[in-house]
Structure 1
């Protein structure tokens, strides 16, 4: 059973999420928080598997809440309004395992909770675009010069890493880059080795948290 905590300052939103999630056979809502400070307290007390976290909350906002929860076993999915696109990169770098918007289809939200609980990194398409845009801008200094990357990835390996971060499979990456799937597998292996990570999930986290794309 996946134990979920909901943190949102709007009671109607919390009730709607609880009602839908509790209908799932493998998910149960263990608590609700109306602000960030309460969310931190409940995570520490209830140790949920997944926290659905709004960014715009009183007392302690979402980013500050993420900072307080660094190192906890709870997987955190930011669930916020589409207007918060500029917050995608800071949230992922602060430790979020996923970023979704409140207009997400309910079935997709359920699948997202399951995916994050299973160790995957989850980004809504708009959030992935925001992350990739942030990654491109972060590689350029104030004077317009390119800032050296912290890794020795080739340009093609960067493209592969960006697509991994966007949740693409090897087949989808091959189709996007117009190369053979076998070639993609080689690039993925090289990316994992160069980043010093064990799997695609860790590579995706590395990408979004370091602005690589």
Structure 2
């Protein structure tokens, strides 16, 4: 295990990076990191990433999981998302989290659920579309509104539901 951003006498970083090794379990490595950095956002890097390892990392309260060999642009995006309080996970794990329990039917969400109580009808439509994995552009086309309007609805939804990102919203909608 290698600790990144750790230097004696320095101001504690807001984010730390951990490159996983094969000499200990994910939980052991993260627990050791948490002894030194108990409250910092944790980004975990893996030489051989997998969905199962990603789930283990996220269940240990890490804020991001990605390939050690990711390019500079990707790592910059990871840092930006984590700095803003979001989660960074790969597309395959996102699909696994959002996949309907019955693969034969699409995700259906009724407006009567508690999460939808304070939302407008249009915000509910946008939230459902996000839960189904729609991009802003796709949602705009589907609802025949502009992307700017979609972004405004998303901002209002996040604020009303007290969620930080699309993943949290999708999990809230799907699991209601």
TM-score tier after normalising by the smaller chain length: 0.5 to 0.7
Question: How far did 1:209 drift?
Answer: 7.3
Cα pair distance change 1:208/1:56, threshold 3 Å: farther
Correspondence 1:175 to 2:137: yes
Residue 84 (structure 2) aligned to one of 119, 126, 149: 119
The residue number in structure 1 matching 2:121 is: none
Number of matched pairs: 156
**1:81 Cα deviation after fit:** 3.4
Matched, 1:187 2:158: no
1:210 is displaced (CA, Å) by 6.4
Q: Which deviates more, 76-85 or 47-56?
A: 47-56
Question: What stretches of structure 1 of length at least 5 have no aligned partner?
Answer: 1-6, 9-13, 19-28, 32-41, 165-172
Residues 134 and 106 from structure 1, CA distance in 2 versus in 1: closer, same or farther, beyond 3 angstroms?
same
Give, in angstroms, the shift of residue 136 of structure 1. 1.8
Q: CA offset at residue 203 of structure 1? A: 3.0
**What is aligned with 1:22?**
none
How big is the alpha-carbon RMSD for the aligned residues of Structure 1 and Structure 2?
4.4
* Alpha-carbon distance in 2 for matches of 1:176, 1:50: 33
What SS is found at the alignment partner of 1:73? coil
Can you give the 5+ residue segments of structure 2 that lack an aligned partner in the other structure? 117-123
Q: What residue in structure 1 maps to residue 129 of structure 2? A: 159
What is the CA–CA distance in structure 1 between the aligned matches of 2:78 and 2:85, rounded to whole Å?
10
> Is the CA contact 2:64–2:78 (under 8 Å) kept in the aligned structure 1?
no
